[in-house]
Structure 1
Amino acid sequence: MAKVRISISLEPDEAERVRVHAERAGMDVSSYLVNAAVRQMAEVEAAEAEFVGVDALIADAEKRAEAHRAIDEAADDSLTADEHREVDEAMRLVYGAGEATSRGQGEVA
């Protein structure tokens, strides 16, 4: 199969850096850039393959979550004041002090 030519444009300082790195690697600029691109593609493909199972779990969880409607926290009277305080404390442990509480306020009343 015949090779395909791809033209790229670089800023002069970037082109010089590429030329210097290619020379240090004992390669011409074209070979150096092809090598770098192929290596980058392999890394991305390996990462994608590594996380395909996690991505599927996330997609499934998001799909199942769509079936549940959001709770209107401001109108949620199902928790007692003590339960709200417990939730607020747990949220502060996760997000840090000053973040939103279970009642949508900055601090517990």
Structure 2
Amino acid sequence: MARVRISISLEAEDAERIREHADRAGMDVSSYLVNAAIRQMAEVETAEAQFAGLDALIADAEGRAEHYGPVDEAGEESLSEDERREVDEAMRLVHGVGETHDSYRGEVA
């Protein structure tokens, strides 16, 4: 396979840091950058593969929800006392003890 040259531009201090890291790894700069790029691509491809099913579920749910349109924001006054307690309990489960629907919204409980 023929080699291809790619030219990059970067700040001098970044270039020096890369040179230092390549030296510590016992590699020339070109090999170091290629190795780093290939490793990064493998990590991204692995993450994409692991989340592909979830991404498909989200896309499907969003597609099915499109015909409902935007949800009107419910105001505090629209919740009954029982509903507020349920929200508070859910927030405590998600965020920990002491968190309520008021603190979740950035207000003091």
TM-score by length of 2: 0.70
- After superposition, residues 1-109 of structure 1 pair within 5 angstroms as 1-69=1-69, 70-71=71-72, 73=74, 81-90=80-89, 92-93=91-92, 94=94, 96-97=99-100, 98-100=103-105
Distance 1:85 1:46, change over 3 A: closer
Alpha-carbon offset, residue 67 of structure 1? 2.7
* Whole-Å separation in 2 of the counterparts to 1:21 and 1:82: 60
Structure having greater relative contact order (Cα 8 Å, sep ≥ 6): 1
Distance 1:28 1:92, change over 3 A: closer
Higher helix share: 2
Distance 1:12 1:68, change over 3 A: same
* Whole-Å separation in 2 of the counterparts to 1:38 and 1:72: 46
* Whole-Å separation in 1 of the counterparts to 2:40 and 2:47: 11
State the percentage of identical aligned residues: 57
Q: RMSD over aligned Cα, in angstroms? A: 2.7
Given residue 21 of structure 2, which amino acid in structure 1 is its aligned partner?
A: H
TM-score by length of 1: 0.70
Structure number with greater Rg is 1
* Whole-Å separation in 2 of the counterparts to 1:73 and 1:9: 51
5+ residue gaps, structure 1: 101-105
Distance 1:90 1:29, change over 3 A: same
Distance 1:24 1:88, change over 3 A: closer
